[in-house]
């Protein structure tokens, strides 16, 4: 999300979110520290992107395709595989005993419109066994409900019926949350029309409260850290586990995995 290719309005919005949190948490010198942290995370963008491209070349019995933005890339995590996409892929491997190839189509900074332009053409050439979609957080900066709904319809209409689509996460700040509420209503309504399962990501990320900014968020005060991505993955897990159990034979029947308990 914090990347050079973003429009000034999106960068300003993300900065405002981070500054709003930092004002409460670090009243002295927070702007300078926030700028340094954001720059450090910015340097990880090509590293994460290359990691996913390299791993997409690996073979797997099951194909998992992710559509999204920097959260799917795992920006803010200690390593790319600690993103929610990596955690979910590991969960499927453990539940099925099968190898899983992950094609992560996500692009840092992607809006719904950019996902339609850049990710859907690549998606059309694939036949995935598992699909997750988490997109729209970057649309809040230049919020336009009409354009957002049009884009969501374009994305959802090409998804297989087994795809899991996530709500936008909680932003905690009231000004952003009003827009997020509208966006999530659109996501739920369009998903219902298409018969798609909605992942309750907003409730999952809201539950820890504003204090989670100190524990679940990276140093830029915007992207999740490892703990934050575990919360994201936990939001997907019930639906993903049920989907895997219905569609793929399991080698055993282990107790439900708690992502939050991963070391």
Give the pLDDT confidence score for residue 170 in this predicted structure.
96
- Domain presence at residue 179: yes
- Domain presence at residue 86: yes
- Domain presence at residue 255: no
Tell me the average pLDDT across 1-24.
45
CA-CA distance, 216 to 230, in Å (whole number)? 9
What is the token pair recorded at 62? 């099951």
Check which CATH number belongs to the domain holding 82 and give it. Answer: 3.40.50.1110
**pLDDT at residue 263 is higher than 60:** no
**Three-state secondary structure call for residue 132:** strand
What is the token pair recorded at 220? 């830029």
- Domain presence at residue 258: no
- Domain presence at residue 257: no
Tell me the average pLDDT across 83-98.
98
**Predicted confidence (pLDDT) per residue in 108-162, tens digit:** 999 999 999 999 999 999 999 999 999 999 999 999 999 999 999 999 999 999 9
**pLDDT at residue 171 is higher than 60:** yes
Residue linked to tokens 């999300």: 1
Question: How much of the chain exceeds pLDDT 90, in percent?
Answer: 70
Give the pLDDT confidence score for residue 250 in this predicted structure.
62
Q: Which domain holds residue 189?
A: 8-248
CA-CA distance, 59 to 103, in Å (whole number)? 11
pTM for the predicted model, two decimal places: 0.82
User: Which residues in 99-243 belong to E strands, given as ranges?
Assistant: 100-104, 130-134, 164-166, 197-199
CA-CA distance, 60 to 251, in Å (whole number)? 16
What's the number of domains the chain is made of?
1
- Domain presence at residue 200: yes
- Domain presence at residue 122: yes
- Domain presence at residue 195: yes
Whether residue 67 contacts residue 155, with contact meaning beta carbons closer than 8 Å, is answered with: yes
Tell me the average pLDDT across 204-233.
87
**pLDDT at residue 13 is higher than 50:** no
**pLDDT at residue 43 is higher than 70:** yes
Question: Which residues partner with 166 through β-bridges?
Answer: 199
Q: What are phi and psi of 207, to 5 degrees?
A: -55, -40
CA-CA distance, 83 to 49, in Å (whole number)? 12
């Amino acid at each position: 999300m914090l990347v050079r290719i973003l429009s000034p309005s999106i960068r300003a919005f993300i900065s405002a979110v981070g500054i709003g949190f930092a004002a409460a948490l670090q009243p002295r010198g927070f702007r300078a520290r926030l700028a340094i942290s954001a720059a450090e995370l910015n340097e990880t963008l090509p590293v994460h992107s290359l990691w996913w491209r390299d791993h997409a070349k690996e073979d797997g019995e099951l194909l998992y395709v992710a559509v999204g933005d920097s959260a799917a890339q795992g920006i803010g995590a200690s390593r790319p595989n600690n993103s929610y996409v990596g955690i979910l892929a590991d969960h499927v491997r453990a539940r099925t005993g099968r190898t899983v190839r992950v094609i992560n189509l996500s692009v840092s900074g992607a809006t719904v419109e950019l996902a339609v332009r850049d990710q859907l053409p690549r998606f059309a050439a694939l036949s995935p066994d598992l699909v997750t979609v988490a997109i729209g957080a970057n649309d809040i900066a230049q919020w336009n409900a009409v354009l957002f709904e049009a884009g969501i319809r374009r994305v959802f209409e090409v998804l297989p019926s087994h795809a899991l689509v996530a709500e936008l996460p909680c932003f905690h700040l009231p000004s952003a949350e009003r827009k997020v509420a509208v966006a999530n209503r659109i996501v739920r309504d369009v998903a219902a029309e298409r018969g798609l399962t909605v992942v309750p990501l907003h409730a999952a990320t809201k539950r820890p409260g504003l204090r989670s900014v100190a524990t679940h968020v990276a140093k830029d005060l915007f992207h999740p850290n490892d703990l934050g991505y575990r919360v994201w993955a936990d939001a997907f897990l019930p639906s993903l586990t049920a989907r895997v159990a219905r569609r793929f034979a399991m080698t055993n029947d282990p107790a439900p995995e708690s992502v939050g308990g991963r070391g």
